[in-house]
């Protein structure tokens, strides 16, 4: 990811740090109250911060002592005065409390940010996986 401190890189860095810390409040703080998320897991969509916060609470709680490192690659963005848009490949790598690699997966993410009262917030997020047409299963890495 770029070392430029743009609204996009700050949001992605905050996302990775919140996931690593399993910090629901820090995670939710990245998003707007009326966020609309199309997620690749379990539900078609999450509408509003309460729904997205509930998802994060469940996700982080399910990890137990595991940690998840999030990295973004191939970040492409366009940033205007009040709106920003970005896409990337995102890798989630789980490790045990002892540092042992457990599993990882890579999928795609697109985010839309909006400046609200001087603060950049994610207003839309879409994660996806390409589908193997022969099996109907998601492809979890490149």
Average pLDDT over residues 59-87: 96
pLDDT score at 44: 84
Q: Is 20 helix (H, G, I), strand (E, B) or coil?
A: helix
Among 25-29, 36-40, 106-110, the range of highest mean pLDDT: 25-29
Nearest partner of 123 among 14, 8, 30, judged by Cα = 30
Q: Alpha carbon of 8 to those of 78, 82, 115: distances in Å?
A: 9, 12, 11
The structure tokens listed for 52 are 């997205």
pLDDT tens digit sequence for 92-121: 999 999 999 999 999 999 999 999 999 999
Average pLDDT over residues 62-82: 96
pLDDT score at 142: 65
Structural domains in the chain, sorted by start: 7-128 (3.10.450.50)
pLDDT score at 3: 56
- Write the burial class of residue 100 (CB in 10 Å: 0-12 exposed, 13-18 middle, 19+ buried): exposed
pLDDT score at 40: 75
pLDDT score at 131: 85
pLDDT level of residue 129 (50, 70, 90 thresholds): confident
Q: Alpha carbon of 75 to those of 2, 4, 62, 92, 108: distances in Å?
A: 8, 12, 28, 15, 10
- pLDDT exceeds 80 at position 12: yes
C-alpha span between 112 and 123 (Å, rounded): 6
Give this prediction's pTM: 0.90
- pLDDT exceeds 70 at position 1: no
- pLDDT exceeds 80 at position 26: yes
pLDDT level of residue 39 (50, 70, 90 thresholds): confident
The structure tokens listed for 32 are 């707007």
- Write the burial class of residue 26 (CB in 10 Å: 0-12 exposed, 13-18 middle, 19+ buried): middle
């Amino acid at each position: 990811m770029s070392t430029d401190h743009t609204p996009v890189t700050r949001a992605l860095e905050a996302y990775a740090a919140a996931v690593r810390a399993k910090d629901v409040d820090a995670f939710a703080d990245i998003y707007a109250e009326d966020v609309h998320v199309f997620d690749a897991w379990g539900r078609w969509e999450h509408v509003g911060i309460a729904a997205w916060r509930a998802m994060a609470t469940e996700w982080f709680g399910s990890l137990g002592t595991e940690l998840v490192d999030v990295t973004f690659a191939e970040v492409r963005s366009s940033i205007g005065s009040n709106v920003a848009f970005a896409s990337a490949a995102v890798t989630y790598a789980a490790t045990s409390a002892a540092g042992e690699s457990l599993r990882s997966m890579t999928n795609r993410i697109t985010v839309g940010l909006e400046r609200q009262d001087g603060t950049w917030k994610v207003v839309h997020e879409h994660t996806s996986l390409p589908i193997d047409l022969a099996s109907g299963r998601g492809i979890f890495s490149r």
